[in-house]
């Protein structure tokens, strides 16, 4: 059986699938040519990340396709219910990239509070001529320790964010529509463990009390955070979105950055990927990354091997 990993896959995953007797193809096929390629090459399983979309047209036109796999958490680029109704297996790897995404959230947070995102733009241009002025401009940073972090969406990734926040000495305020209480277990290198019980609160409590807010929910067809929600927040709040583009209304975010309600933001995802709004890219208060939350070597290894284990179980 042939597997097309259209958005790439780690070598560990390829090796595991080939050892199980599958042929793995890593050609990057354009979306418009995908149906023809799958049928001509008798593809049994299609593996994607966020770039390739698997909609009804592909599902209907590819009768030999038995499985669709998403290397990551969110499956909004796949018509999941339709595929399952048609008898296809649809799988993902919800836990494989959680730690990587959580670390990226804090990469943005640390960079935000010390203005590194802006300093890294200006130092190469003006560091040799305006060193003292830049030093003064970026000299009003703050510490994360002791601050309140609001986590909207307290699943695997949200809880990994909480672990880092607690270790940093932050207070965690969490909201989740499906979880009232969560046990957070922080493991240390020497085998010691510290446990915290986090009770979730109403989302309004997060908006009103958090110094920083990070979102970890799927896109629901409209923004979760727009002007109304931003107005509930504390002045000088910081926002991070490493979940899905569109969860935060980018126009309202820009307005709030311009009027000073929001002090800074970190975005790993965008409404119009892969061509984000240029005003968002040029905003000097935004720390930017190109949708790399799961893009660590460790996460990709875990994604590959977890997909391989599931495929072997389902198709052999």
Q: Quick check: is 291 catalytic?
A: yes
Q: Which of 244, 250, 263, 302 is catalytic?
A: 244
Distances in Å between the alpha carbon of 240 and those of 21, 75, 149, 212, 284? Answer: 42, 21, 11, 8, 15
Q: Which of 159, 263, 291, 302 is catalytic?
A: 291
CA distance 124 to 114: 17
Q: Quick check: is 244 catalytic?
A: yes
> Any idea which residues carry the catalytic annotation?
244, 273, 291
């Amino acid at each position: 059986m042939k597997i097309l990993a259209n958005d790439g896959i780690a070598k560990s995953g390829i090796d595991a699938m080939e050892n199980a007797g599958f042929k793995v193809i890593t050609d990057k096929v354009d979306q418009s040519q995908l149906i023809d390629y799958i049928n001509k090459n008798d593809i049994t399983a299609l593996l994607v990340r966020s770039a390739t979309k698997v909609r009804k047209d592909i599902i209907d036109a590819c009768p030999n396709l038995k499985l669709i796999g998403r290397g990551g958490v969110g499956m909004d680029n796949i018509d999941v219910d339709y595929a399952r109704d048609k008898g296809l297996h649809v799988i993902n790897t919800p836990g494989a990239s959680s730690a990587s995404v959580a670390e990226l959230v804090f990469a943005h947070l640390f960079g935000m509070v010390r203005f590194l995102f802006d300093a890294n733009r200006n130092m190469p241009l003006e560091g040799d001529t305006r060193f003292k002025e830049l030093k003064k401009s970026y000299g009003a940073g703050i510490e994360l320790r002791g601050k309140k972090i609001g986590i909207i969406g307290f699943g695997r990734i949200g809880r990994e964010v909480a672990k880092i926040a607690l270790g940093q000495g932050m207070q965690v305020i969490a909201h989740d529509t499906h979880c009232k209480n969560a046990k957070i277990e922080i493991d240390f290198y020497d085998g010691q463990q510290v446990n915290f019980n986090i009770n979730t609160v109403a989302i309004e409590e997060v908006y009103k009390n958090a110094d920083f807010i990070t979102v970890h929910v799927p896109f629901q067809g409209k923004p979760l955070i727009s002007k109304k929600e931003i107005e509930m927040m504390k002045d000088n709040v910081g926002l991070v979105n490493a979940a899905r583009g569109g969860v935060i209304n980018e126009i309202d975010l820009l307005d709030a950055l311009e009027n000073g309600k929001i002090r800074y933001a970190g975005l790993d995802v965008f409404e119009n990927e892969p061509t984000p709004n240029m005003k968002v890219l040029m905003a000097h208060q935004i720390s930017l990354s190109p949708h790399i939350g799961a893009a660590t070597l460790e996460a990709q290894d875990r994604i590959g091997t977890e997909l391989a284990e599931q495929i072997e179980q389902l198709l052999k």
